[in-house]
Structure 1
Amino acid sequence: MTLADSDRDLVVAELDREPTPAEAALFENLWSEHCAYRSSRPLLSAFDSEGDQVVVGPGDDAAVVALPTDDDADDVYITMGIESHNHPSYVDPFDGAATGVGGIVRDTLSMGAYPIALADSLYFGDFDREHSRYLFEGVVEGISHYGNCIGVPTVAGSVAFHDDYEGNPLVNVSCIGLIDDPDRLVTAEAQEPGNKLVLVGNATGRDGLGGASFASEDLSEDAETEDRPAVQVGDPYTEKLLIEANEALVDEGLVESARDLGAAGLGGATSEMVAKGGLGARIDLEKVHQREPNMNALEILLAESQERMAYEVRPENVERVEEIAERYDLGCSVIGEITEGNYVCEFEGETVVDVDAYFLGEGAPMNDLPAEEPSQPERDLPDVDLAEAVETVVGHPNTASKRWVYRQYDHEVQVRTARRPGDDAAILAVREAGTGLAYSAGADPNWTEAAPYEGARAVALENATNVAAKGATPLAAVDCLNGGNPEKPDVYGGFTGIVDGLADMCETLSTPVVGGNVSLYNDSPSGPIPPTPTLALVGTKEGYDAPPLDLAGEGTLLVVGDLPLSGEADARLGGSQYLASHGGSDAFPELPDDPAGLVETLAEVADFDSTLATHDASHGGLAVTLAEMVHDDAGADVELDSAALLFHEQAGRAVVETTDPEAVRAAFDGVAPVAEIGSADDSGTLSLSVGDEDVELDAAAIRDLRSVIERELE
């Protein structure tokens, strides 16, 4: 570990002396891009994080949002958090992904919440490559193993394949937690000098050393072997015990503040707690319960061993905390106390750290980096046979069924999942509030590679449309902003574009972005990743029912929100899977003028008695949307004027099967266009008439095309 010369100069000036080795390592990790957001923080003010529903916004381990309830009902809160575990998942896909799940769950615990749902958004190199499949299989196995063992359902997410993730996959995991009593809310802000710092959970070992600094560097050719010591190793069975112990501690009101031990380990968690409270701490590192002999101060301070929580506890409650830890067979150490002075760590009678906690946490200088705006492509469309294009796009791993992934996850544990994976959004039954919670997460690298700003706006609108198609209106969102090396002006320009695009659309939708994560330096010898703005968005509705995406086979098929079908705009194919598969280029599609009105109206229409099915239309265009809606007992007969109308991927659209088309048109009058494209029937066949070409695919043929991932991996 090496503290940069310019940073060392600032530290020396502040301390008026040279830093100790432990201090230098602590500054290197806490001032890294991963912890300090040195290149991204100047951009993040673009996000609107406020709203009547926001209880705790950005800056804590997770955000807290109030659910709508009846006037006479007690307040019910959810927590929202999202994290990346990108570099570790390249080096060790199983443990990297598994510990990503463990970390975001502990972020949830530290707010006093019980974790009720997970969503994973995964990005890999081309599916045809053996190494991409190795990473894909290992990551999915790690997520399923950890999530299933701890009893938290994985109910939503996304998977995308793109050449530019070959040297650096992305693993973004979000978590929803439940706080059914506002008095249970805990934050990471230390409260009072004299309170004790208590470490509960697994023993500390040497795994994960330097994880924060490792996550702030480009991956090298030798990363899989050289950086393995920086990857944490998870133990989900201990995490499950920690979940239940945390619940008991919060139930009894024993926790004054809490922080999960994640990036920069004990040093990161405890220094951030006291810095938030404008306080200090005195910690005896020898009192930390350890898994390995002869650990030195730096190792104890910075190891990122998993399944550990730091609690602030009143002196009179320490004994009870120890009793609960023992009941759950968890290690427990009273390691120090809150003070009014500096952040001080001692080891073997020597002071190894003595710094101002606020300077340690907030003193890193921000980077002022040049940014180049990406150029817009010219139109150059391929000439492809319609039947070939339909089969290629419907059967591409990006748009094909992800059943192979989500069937490995236990998505029904806790008995809240009212709408399971495979639909536009999952729906959780939050019975404590009488509310259905719709949950959608993902991004599309084809979109943001083609047009970072407009593509990110489309990502936000698409996630909002997902929840609206199930009858829910957006409540709040968290984001995971992934980019390459920000020191490259073109890369930083693309990253700036996705931040501004996501922020602008979320503000337009009146959806506060209440927290998030930034992951930069996702760069490798094969090049940078596409700028990737994963959004995890929740919406609410009365009750837990929602229209399916499967056709009923007896209604009129309408497309709402499609500008080209209404003649208001060209069918632009930029960012589409059609162009990704067949070559060519085009401008990115325009988006609706009134996205908020469209989303609100779609949520209303989804709950009409006359609505038989609804499905968001986005990735793969109408070709994929309609193929997903057809099944053995229901088909569709559809007519369009051109192939561009079948394959363009404008966000903010949905297909509605209805027995009352006029009611849908009336609802959207003055809000968004509505176009009739055909009808549903009981044929079990998708019949497409596009210009002067016709294509027919029965349900069995569609299933075969869409099962490419299962077929190749089993």
Structure 2
Amino acid sequence: MADTVENAAATPDQAQPWAELGLKEDEYTRIREILGRRPSSSELAMYSVMWSEHCSYKSSKVHLRRFGELSQDTPAGKLLAGIGENAGVVDIGQGYAVTFKIESHNHPSYVEPHQGAATGVGGIVRDILAMGARPVGVMDALRFGPLEEPDTHRVLPGVVSGVGGYGNCLGLPNIGGEVVFDRSYLGNPLVNALCVGVLRHEDLHLAKATGAGNQVILYGAATGGDGIGGASILASETFDDDKPSKRPAVQVGDPFMEKLLIECTLELFAAGVVTGIQDFGAAGISCATSELAAAGDGGMRVELDRVPLRDSSLAPEEILMSESQERMMAVVEPGDVARFLEICARWDVQATVVGEVTEDDRLVIEWHGETIVDVDPRTVAHEGPVYERPYARPAWQDTVQADGVEGLARPATGDELAATLLALVGSPNLCDKSWITNQYDRYVRGNSVLAQPEDAGMLRIDEETGLGVALSTDCNSRFALLDPYVGAQLALAEAYRNVAVTGAQPVAVSDCLNFGSPEDPAVMWQFTQAIAGLVDGCQVLGTPVTGGNVSFYNQTGSTPILPTPVVGVMGVIEDVRRRVPVGFAGAGDVVVLLGDTRDELAGSVWAAVAHDHLGGRPPVVDLEHERRLAAVLGEAGRRGLLTSAHDLADGGLAQALVESSLRRGHGVTVELPADADPFVQLFSESSGRVLVSLPAAGADALTTLCAEHGVPLHPLGRVTGAEDATVAVAGQFSLPLEQIRTTWSATLPAVLAADPIAVVAGA
């Protein structure tokens, strides 16, 4: 028998498992104060998942408000929807809008790698769909423990198959992302998934229940026992994989059902039969009902026993907490219900009227005629606890910053520089990632014009005009440990620059902020510093934060991950035919470095690979310079001056030369400044630099353009032919490109001991 509201009022002293559900004692007391009685077991279930860290942002809310300081305008147009909606929506011109967002699915992906990653992709795709958009592409930012660790071998293949399998089945190209290895992620990998969608302005939909008498329809997959308390609970406490209770909490995905759900939902939008919509993510029905009602102009009554079930033994509390995938909830006018159900039936999508919008301000849920929930939905969805967690700069921060790279042995001869280059290009974080990316379909739908391993992914939006968007995700967590404020700005600057090198204009940001326990003052200090860095950085760059995700409790025991504020930047390009790729395009092209190189090697890949060292201060970031550099790259792209452009980041100039050569098989010969240290010139990771190539006839035009914008320009050398190609540094070394390619491409297959069939031949 269900625990009814009436029974809850009559049995105030009945013990309840609030602690087991992740609530603190004062939170449980607050729930009793709100209701004026003890909660029913179903109400307790709802509050526990909706007040979890993952759903309520209770430790981050006070700091995330700072993003509201940012302008709602973008260089391309207006922000049509922002923070607080399922995803941000940006006007990109010609009547089009783009919605994009990045979110985490970290702990579920450790417990069950394939399903955890797959359902992470499915969840972010439904966020985009719920805005009225057609999803058109995905990206993923992944972090794992050391490549040689056995547990990495367990987690990585499953995560990759989950990301690739789900996205491939949906027919969504995976156009970019990152894969990073570091010991701090052993036992706590990060799986951050981004989705981008396209809509016309008039197709925008919001998550709110309005209009008394309008019907509430649940459609999509049936509700099962998988994912009960899944992401909402898993992501809201310090991870301990020894707890057996965590094992069944991972959702199970069905991408073919999601594909039907996407097409069905888009037809429902086109038919004009939807007045409000919400996807089912973390917290399931608890989230969809409370958020729709809280954002509307009335209340909602739901008959929970109408919910289609895969498991008839589920108790009402379990139905409310289940995070079963591929489900949506819509608000529909009575006169449109028949048409709604007809469209769902045509797509073989199950749809059930489970309730209606009411005139009052209550969320009432019934079970076989008895009331089991009677709450103010705002107290569930929006008025949960808000913590101002203590934070303090840790004492060890000074020690870390004082431990610079000055005393580390550096290569001094040409042979040593060549050996260093080979060691770095074969290292896990700089090596060829095609073992992973070949499992993703990057070109399905035919609108991918740039994809991995380019600096940014690019999608054509309008076939007639060539209007397109470019996206990149970035974060160097080693820099973020050295200085979380600067590290967050460096992540922003790199993602911004990666979009700019393609010729697109960066316009908006979505972030996924991955940190350790918010109950640790040192972690909260890192978090607040990263927020401040992003807010200040976005103000300079003119890129509003449109939405995102906070993921706390990313630690195993007392050991947190490196602070990892992943930043996604979206840019607009007027004509994708003017895009600029990474690879050197033709022999004889001149090679030029834009931006200055300084002796900045703290936190670098060289320090990690050569000395297993992490200390010092990160590179200086100059965001005004980044704006000027982006302006140069955009204008050079529009004028067709450049044949290639590649951001300098991990591995510095040496890695950029290698990757630009490997992309199309051309060699390169460069001459470094005579008065400069060749090691610093090759391996420094100074920010704000781009390697470009162009026909010699355009060199003067580029020089003039850079002078007009105050961007330093340094001629380096020339692209050489593909036959017997080498990467040569005058007076230092010359390495055959095939030797470099062999070293670069061998690392992942050798360690992972598998050769998955490439999804796209030759990609």
Moved more, 449-458 or 499-508: 499-508
Contact 2:45–2:320, Cα closer than 8 Å, also in 1: no
Contact 1:498–1:532, Cα closer than 8 Å, also in 2: no
Task: Report the counterpart of residue 729 of structure 2 in structure 1.
Answer: 688
* 1:572-611 superposed matches below 5 A: 572-583=600-611, 584=613, 585-592=615-622, 593-611=624-642
Task: Report the counterpart of residue 12 of structure 2 in structure 1.
Answer: none
Task: Report the counterpart of residue 428 of structure 1 in structure 2.
Answer: 459
Moved more, 640-649 or 373-382: 373-382
When normalised by structure 1's length, the TM-score is 0.95
Contact 1:82–1:175, Cα closer than 8 Å, also in 2: yes
Matched, 1:668 2:706: yes
Task: Report the counterpart of residue 654 of structure 1 in structure 2.
Answer: 690
Q: Which amino acid aligns with 2:277?
A: A
Moved more, 40-49 or 571-580: 40-49
Matched, 1:196 2:215: yes
Contact 1:547–1:607, Cα closer than 8 Å, also in 2: no
SS in structure 2 at match of 1:455? helix
- Distance in 2 (CA, whole Å) between partners of 1:244 and 1:93 is 27
Matched, 1:57 2:117: no
Matched, 1:614 2:651: no
Matched, 1:468 2:500: yes
Moved more, 461-470 or 434-443: 434-443
Q: Deviations over 1:29-85 (max 9, x none)?
A: 11111011111111112322611420011111111111123xxxxx11111122110
Q: Which amino acid aligns with 2:599?
A: A
- Distance in 2 (CA, whole Å) between partners of 1:606 and 1:653 is 17
SS in structure 1 at match of 2:495? helix
- Distance in 2 (CA, whole Å) between partners of 1:578 and 1:13 is 57
- Distance in 2 (CA, whole Å) between partners of 1:173 and 1:49 is 26
- Distance in 2 (CA, whole Å) between partners of 1:648 and 1:493 is 28
Report how far residue 605 of structure 1 moved.
2.1
Task: Report the counterpart of residue 560 of structure 1 in structure 2.
Answer: 594
Contact 2:276–2:330, Cα closer than 8 Å, also in 1: yes
* 1:282-301 superposed matches below 5 A: 282-301=301-320
SS in structure 2 at match of 1:168? coil
Report how far residue 326 of structure 1 moved.
1.5
Contact 1:560–1:653, Cα closer than 8 Å, also in 2: yes
- Distance in 1 (CA, whole Å) between partners of 2:55 and 2:233 is 9
Q: Which amino acid aligns with 1:612?
A: T
Matched, 1:222 2:242: yes
SS in structure 2 at match of 1:227? helix
- Distance in 1 (CA, whole Å) between partners of 2:454 and 2:105 is 26
- Distance in 1 (CA, whole Å) between partners of 2:48 and 2:492 is 34
Task: Report the counterpart of residue 72 of structure 1 in structure 2.
Answer: none
- Distance in 1 (CA, whole Å) between partners of 2:379 and 2:581 is 53
Report how far residue 525 of structure 1 moved.
2.8
SS in structure 2 at match of 1:45? helix
Task: Report the counterpart of residue 397 of structure 1 in structure 2.
Answer: 428
Structure 1 pair 633–56 and aligned structure 2 pair: CA distance change class (3 A) = closer
Task: Report the counterpart of residue 677 of structure 1 in structure 2.
Answer: 716
Task: Report the counterpart of residue 383 of structure 1 in structure 2.
Answer: 409
Identify the match of residue 414 of structure 1 among 432, 445, 449: 445
Moved more, 438-447 or 162-171: 438-447
Task: Report the counterpart of residue 637 of structure 1 in structure 2.
Answer: 669
Which residues of structure 2 form unaligned runs of 5+? 1-19, 412-416, 755-763
- Distance in 2 (CA, whole Å) between partners of 1:639 and 1:450 is 32
Contact 2:625–2:688, Cα closer than 8 Å, also in 1: no
- Distance in 2 (CA, whole Å) between partners of 1:491 and 1:240 is 39
Task: Report the counterpart of residue 16 of structure 2 in structure 1.
Answer: none
- Distance in 1 (CA, whole Å) between partners of 2:181 and 2:190 is 10
Identify the match of residue 183 of structure 2 among 163, 168, 177: 163
Moved more, 351-360 or 183-192: 183-192
Q: Deviations over 1:531-566 (max 9, x none)?
A: 11112211111211322222123122211122x3xx
SS in structure 2 at match of 1:346? strand
Contact 1:77–1:178, Cα closer than 8 Å, also in 2: yes
- Distance in 2 (CA, whole Å) between partners of 1:310 and 1:103 is 14
Identify the match of residue 547 of structure 1 among 563, 580, 584: 580
Identify the match of residue 541 of structure 2 among 509, 516, 530: 509
Contact 2:405–2:602, Cα closer than 8 Å, also in 1: no
SS in structure 1 at match of 2:371? strand
Report how far residue 236 of structure 1 moved.
0.7
Report how far residue 182 of structure 1 moved.
2.5
Contact 1:458–1:591, Cα closer than 8 Å, also in 2: yes
Task: Report the counterpart of residue 208 of structure 1 in structure 2.
Answer: 227
**Which 4+ runs in 1 deviate beyond 4 A?**
none
Structure 1 pair 606–619 and aligned structure 2 pair: CA distance change class (3 A) = farther
Q: Deviations over 1:191-232 (max 9, x none)?
A: 211111100011001111112122101111415x43121100
Q: Which amino acid aligns with 1:578?
A: W
Task: Report the counterpart of residue 91 of structure 2 in structure 1.
Answer: 66
Size of the aligned set, in residue pairs, is: 698
Q: Which amino acid aligns with 1:9?
A: T
Task: Report the counterpart of residue 494 of structure 1 in structure 2.
Answer: 526
Identity %: 38
- Distance in 1 (CA, whole Å) between partners of 2:494 and 2:209 is 39
Q: CA RMSD in A?
A: 1.7
Matched, 1:628 2:653: no
- Distance in 2 (CA, whole Å) between partners of 1:365 and 1:622 is 48
Q: Deviations over 1:90-145 (max 9, x none)?
A: 00000000000111111111111110000101011111112112211110100111
SS in structure 2 at match of 1:218? coil
SS in structure 1 at match of 2:325? coil
Contact 2:278–2:328, Cα closer than 8 Å, also in 1: yes
Contact 1:205–1:291, Cα closer than 8 Å, also in 2: yes
Report how far residue 688 of structure 1 moved.
2.2
- Distance in 2 (CA, whole Å) between partners of 1:506 and 1:647 is 28
Q: Which amino acid aligns with 1:700?
A: E
Q: Deviations over 1:243-291 (max 9, x none)?
A: 1110111110011010001111011111101101142111110000111
Report how far residue 163 of structure 1 moved.
0.6
Report how far residue 466 of structure 1 moved.
0.8
* 1:319-398 superposed matches below 5 A: 319-341=338-360, 342-373=362-393, 374-375=397-398, 376-381=401-406, 382-385=408-411, 386-398=417-429
When normalised by structure 2's length, the TM-score is 0.89
SS in structure 2 at match of 1:414? helix
Matched, 1:532 2:564: yes
Report how far residue 629 of structure 1 moved.
1.1
Task: Report the counterpart of residue 514 of structure 2 in structure 1.
Answer: 482
Contact 2:60–2:550, Cα closer than 8 Å, also in 1: yes
SS in structure 1 at match of 2:30? helix
Report how far residue 612 of structure 1 moved.
2.1
Moved more, 361-370 or 202-211: 361-370
Contact 1:458–1:650, Cα closer than 8 Å, also in 2: no
SS in structure 2 at match of 1:136? helix
Matched, 1:520 2:552: yes
Report how far residue 390 of structure 1 moved.
1.2
Task: Report the counterpart of residue 699 of structure 1 in structure 2.
Answer: 737
Q: Deviations over 1:150-207 (max 9, x none)?
A: 111111111111110001000000111111x323221102221111110001100111
